[in-house]
A = this chain, B = another copy of it.
Amino acid sequence: MQAVTIKDVAALAGVSVGTASRVLSGNPATSADARERVAAAAAQLDYQPNAQAQALRSARSQSLGLLVPDVRNPFFADLAHAAEQAGLSAGYVTLLGNANESSDQQDRYLDTLISRRVDGVIIAPVGGDGGRLRALLERKVPTVLVDRTVPGFRLPSVTTDSETGIRQAVQHLAAQGHTRIGYISGPQATSTGRDRFAAFTQAVAEAGLSQDPELVYFGDYQAASGSAGVHALLELADPPTALLAADSLMAVGAISILHRRGLRIGTDVALVAFDDIEWFALLDPALSVIAHSVEDMGRIAVELLLQVIAGEEPASVVLPSELIVRASSSLPISLA
Give the interface of A toward B (CB within 8 A).
1-3, 46, 48-53, 55-56, 59, 61, 70-72, 74, 77-78, 80-81, 84-85, 88, 93-98, 100, 105, 111-112, 114-117, 135, 138-140, 223, 252, 255-256, 259, 278-279, 281-284
Contacts and interface: CB of A to CB of B under 8 A. Distances in A.
Contact of A279 (B98, B140, B252): B252
B50 A117 contact: yes
Contact of A71 (B1, B81, B100, B139): B81
A57 B70 CA distance: 34
Contacts of A281: 256
A328 to B, nearest CB: 11
The 9 A-B residue pairs with the shortest CB-CB distance in the complex, in nearest-first order: A51-B115, A96-B96, A52-B52, A77-B77, A48-B114, A284-B284, A52-B56, A52-B55, A51-B116
Nearest to A105: B88
Contacts of A49: 115
Contacts of A56: 50, 52-53, 56
Given A46-B135, A117-B52, A81 B93 contact: no
7 contacts: A3-B139, A49-B115, A52-B55, A74-B77, A85-B100, A283-B284, A284-B284
B77 A71 contact: yes
Contact of A93 (B48, B112, B283): B112
Contacts of A97: 93
A72 B61 contact: no
Contacts of A140: 2
Contact of A117 (B51, B117, B282, B283): B51
Contact of A80 (B3, B71, B111, B223): B71
Given A72-B81, A74-B74, A95-B93, A52 B48 contact: no
A140 B255 CA distance: 49
Contacts of A1: 59
